[in-house]
Amino acid sequence: MESSIRVARSLDCTTISVMGIFSFGLHAAFRAAYKDENPNQIAGFIFIIDLSRTTRIDSSALGMLLLLREEHGGRNDNIRLVSANKDVAKVLKMASFDRIFWWNNVAYLTSRP
């Protein structure tokens, strides 16, 4: 499966779906997906990063998520990581992303093998 990014926009939300391996190869597409947004103009604007079709994530992708956070607010509630599989959630947890991003993967993080 080739890695790719899909973007859906509405007035108060941009959803960025990552398919395949989330790595440096997606840097330009990921940045293009959010660079023109100005969430400060709209109260409650959020970015949703849909990881439901992400098979793996590496350190460069973690850096891309941190850049998104830095460039667009720095709050953990306006960027939401959703639907990561067990392996991706494990990497996010090891990087302490559960402390700096909102996400819905609590079940993956607290379950034991």
Proportion of the chain above pLDDT 70, given as a percent = 81
* pLDDT higher than 60, residue 113: no
Q: For the chain, how many residues are written?
A: 113
How large is the average pLDDT for residues 2-12?
92
- pLDDT digits 0-9 by tens, 76-93: 668 899 999 999 999 999
pLDDT band for 107, please (50, 70, 90 cuts).
Answer: very low
Proportion of the chain above pLDDT 90, given as a percent = 58
Q: Are the C-beta atoms of 97 and 103 separated by less than 8 Å?
A: yes
Decide: helix, strand or coil at residue 81. strand
pTM of the model: 0.86
pLDDT band for 39, please (50, 70, 90 cuts).
Answer: low
Taking residue 112's Cβ as centre, other Cβ atoms within 10 Å add up to 3
